[in-house]
């Protein structure tokens, strides 16, 4: 842990192991902290806040840019560490480190673009002046599926805005967060500006975050149930909240689309990070006239995917996070089969060639998915492509919107009018039109409904960490 500029090797609960999900080996042990450490970190952040907020935007920008440069220089080492603790293939880990760096660069620039304004008054002797100020101490909770990019996506704008931070990474993946905080320390961020609390039990730390009056903002990425609980408790203490939660993304292949091109895109985004992404397509709506062509191309590509340790050459799909995740995925697959789905490929846990030491599930394709099946309603967070044949555009729009989630959606079509109708009609925060990667540091990321509150990235991302102050001057 890192509190008020001091590294702590052992917490009040001792230490806990971080294991490699591909083989169960212990990568490292880290300090096991709890509410006591969270309280100390919050106090340190509150003490450091006035001086950090008073720094010029150019000073904060320069420090973030230095952190960006150091992060880029360590891309290969950080990618290897990411694969060790999270499991994704090394190539995907390297891409994530670059994505993480992009947020530092973007918000280093945005730090200098926090503009105020003057507003005309109806009174000749009055002037209105508006300025934006940092909200205060930020408590940040990051997930295990993207353990470095989610750190910079939260800390980049918070620090750029002039806030101080207490970071709590997921208990499964604290190592990348530790290395990221070391970079902030190295470039000269003052003691207390960034604090890190690691712990095997997130509950007492989260409780301190949402109840401590010194915390003025909570930013959380994780499951919808946990996000709702934290947001509810934070609201009771009038804290600012932004949450990026679960998804249940539709992937619509329209009648005029190229089914081969669409299948290639689906395979890339569906099995990214072994399906463990909140924007991963869950319900794949394919027009009935092209199901066979789409399915054949998809299966051809999926069957070539090699599962294994992400550091091994040729591995394209890594492990799930733990055994509970494997059990959840398999339960959805078995439920679908029992209710009439066609299993095209996969559909089982992988145990051969040493994979039994990890948490591996075969890349799976199911066809003839119906609304009564669990996979149609619940987020899978695993490597299962569930195809739902459809016949009419109006029907598919209604089916796609028939969910409590609203994070991402995808559309493949060659018709501009159809693309615009679906873009406007889909109730999701992010829509990819013939695009499987509608994301970037310069683009607002976030969802509607049960997928969360607020946006990350873009200019919207920094506004989440700012308060608006009005001055009325009588002259």
Alpha helices in 17-161 (DSSP H): 35-54, 57-73, 75-86, 90-110, 149-161
Whether 197 is in a domain gets the answer yes
Mean pLDDT (whole number) for 380-405 = 95
What is the 3-state composition of the chain as percent helix, strand, coil, each rounded to the nearest 5? 45, 25, 35
Q: How confident is the model at residue 208 (pLDDT cuts 50, 70, 90)?
A: very high
394 shares a domain with 366: yes
276 shares a domain with 163: no
**How many angstroms separate the first and last alpha carbons of the chain?**
52
392 shares a domain with 363: yes
105 shares a domain with 157: yes
- Write the pLDDT tens digit of every residue in 269-283: 999 999 999 999 999
Paired residues of 273 in beta bridges: none
pLDDT at 393: 83
Q: For residue 96, give its domain range.
A: 2-245+451-474
259 shares a domain with 237: no
17 shares a domain with 128: yes
Whether the CB-CB separation of 67 and 111 falls below 8 Å is answered with: no
pLDDT at residue 392 greater than cutoff 90: no
d(C-alpha 294, C-alpha 261), whole Å: 9
pLDDT at 394: 84
Whether the CB-CB separation of 8 and 31 falls below 8 Å is answered with: yes
**Pairing relationship of beta strands 215-221 and 137-141 according to DSSP bridges:** parallel
Whether 222 is in a domain gets the answer yes
CA 84 to chain CA centroid, Å, is 19
**Pairing relationship of beta strands 126-134 and 117-119 according to DSSP bridges:** antiparallel
Whether 47 is in a domain gets the answer yes
pLDDT at residue 216 greater than cutoff 90: yes
Three-class DSSP category at 15: strand
68 shares a domain with 18: yes
Whether 357 is in a domain gets the answer yes
pLDDT at 92: 97
Which of 65, 4, 64 lies closest to 38, judged by CA? 4
User: What percent of the chain shows pLDDT beyond 90?
Assistant: 99
Mean pLDDT (whole number) for 218-228 = 97
Which residues participate in catalysis according to the annotation? 244, 278
- Write the pLDDT tens digit of every residue in 230-289: 999 999 999 999 999 999 999 999 999 999 999 999 999 999 999 999 999 999 999 999
Whether the CB-CB separation of 241 and 231 falls below 8 Å is answered with: yes
User: Residue 10 CB: number of other CB atoms within 10 A?
Assistant: 13
312 shares a domain with 343: yes
Task: Give one DSSP letter per residue of 186-246, joined into a string.
Answer: HTTPPTTSEEE---S-HHHHHHHHHH-TTEEEEEEES-HHHHHHHHHHHHHTT-EEEEE--
Whether the CB-CB separation of 216 and 136 falls below 8 Å is answered with: yes
Whether 445 is in a domain gets the answer no
- Write the pLDDT tens digit of every residue in 95-145: 999 999 999 999 999 999 999 999 999 999 999 999 999 999 999 999 999
193 shares a domain with 67: yes
Crossing angle for the helix pair 57-73 and 75-86, to the nearest 10 degrees: 70
d(C-alpha 49, C-alpha 54), whole Å: 8
154 shares a domain with 297: no
pLDDT at 69: 98
Whether 325 is in a domain gets the answer yes
Number of domains forming the structure of the chain: 2
Whether 184 is in a domain gets the answer yes
Three-class DSSP category at 345: strand
Task: Give one DSSP letter per residue of 134-181, joined into a string.
Answer: E--EEEEE--SSSTTHHHHHHHHHHHHHT-EEEEE--TT--HHHHHHH
CATH number at residue 6: 3.40.605.10
176 shares a domain with 158: yes
Which of 23, 268, 276 lies closest to 143, judged by CA? 276
Whether 446 is in a domain gets the answer no
- Write the pLDDT tens digit of every residue in 142-197: 999 999 999 999 999 999 999 999 999 999 999 999 999 999 999 999 999 999 99
Which of 68, 1, 66, 67 lies closest to 31, judged by CA? 1
53 shares a domain with 120: yes
pLDDT at 448: 97
CATH number at residue 256: 3.40.309.10
Residues near 424 by beta carbon (within 8 Å), at least 6 away in sequence: none
């Amino acid at each position: 842990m890192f509190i008020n500029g001091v590294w702590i090797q052992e917490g009040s609960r001792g230490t806990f192991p971080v294991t490699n999900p591909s083989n169960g080996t212990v990568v490292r042990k880290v300090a096991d902290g709890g509410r006591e450490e969270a309280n100390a970190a919050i106090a340190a952040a509150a003490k450091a806040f006035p001086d950090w907020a008073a720094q010029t935007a150019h000073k904060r920008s320069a420090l973030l840019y230095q952190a960006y440069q150091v992060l880029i220089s360590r891309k290969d080492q950080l990618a290897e560490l990411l694969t060790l603790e999270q499991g994704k293939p090394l190539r995907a880990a390297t891409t994530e480190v670059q994505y993480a760096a992009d947020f530092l660069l973007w918000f280093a620039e945005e730090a200098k673009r926090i503009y105020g304004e003057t507003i005309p008054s109806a009174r000749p002797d009055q002037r209105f002046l508006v300025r934006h100020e940092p909200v205060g101490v930020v408590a940040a909770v990051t997930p295990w599926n993207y353990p470095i990019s989610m750190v910079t996506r939260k800390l980049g704008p918070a620090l750029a805005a002039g806030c101080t931070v207490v970071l709590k990474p997921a208990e499964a993946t604290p190592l990348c967060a530790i290395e990221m905080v070391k970079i902030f320390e190295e470039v000269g961020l003052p003691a207390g500006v960034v604090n890190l609390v690691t712990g095997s039990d997130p509950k007492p730390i989260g409780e301190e975050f949402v109840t401590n009056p010194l915390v003025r903002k909570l930013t959380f990425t994780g499951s919808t149930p946990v996000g709702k609980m934290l947001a509810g408790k934070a609201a009771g203490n009038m804290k600012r909240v932004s949450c990026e939660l679960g998804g249940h993304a539709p992937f619509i292949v329209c009648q005029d689309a190229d089914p081969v091109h669409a299948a290639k895109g689906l395979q890339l985004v569906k099995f990214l990070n072994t399906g463990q992404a909140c924007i991963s397509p869950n319900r794949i709506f394919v027009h009935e006239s092209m199901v066979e062509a789409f399915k054949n191309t998809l299966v051809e590509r999926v069957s070539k995917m090699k599962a294994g340790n992400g550091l091994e050459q040729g591995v394209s799909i890594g492990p799930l996070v733990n055994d509970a995740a494997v059990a959840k995925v398999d339960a959805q697959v078995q439920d679908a089969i029992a209710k009439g789905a066609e299993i095209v490929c996969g559909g089982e846990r992988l145990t051969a060639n040493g994979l039994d030491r990890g948490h591996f599930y075969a890349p799976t394709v199911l066809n003839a998915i119906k609304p009564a099946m669990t996979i149609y309603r619940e987020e899978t967070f695993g490597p299962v492509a569930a195809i739902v044949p459809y016949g009419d555009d109006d029907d598919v729009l209604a089916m796609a919107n028939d969910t409590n989630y609203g994070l991402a959606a995808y559309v493949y079509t060659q018709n501009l009018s159809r693309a615009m109708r679906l873009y406007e009609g889909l109730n999701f925060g992010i829509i990819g039109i013939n695009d499987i990667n509608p994301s970037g540091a310069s683009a607002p990321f976030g969802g509607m409904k049960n997928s969360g509150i607020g946006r990350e990235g873009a200019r919207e991302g920094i506004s989440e960490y700012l308060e608006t102050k009005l001055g009325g001057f009588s002259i």
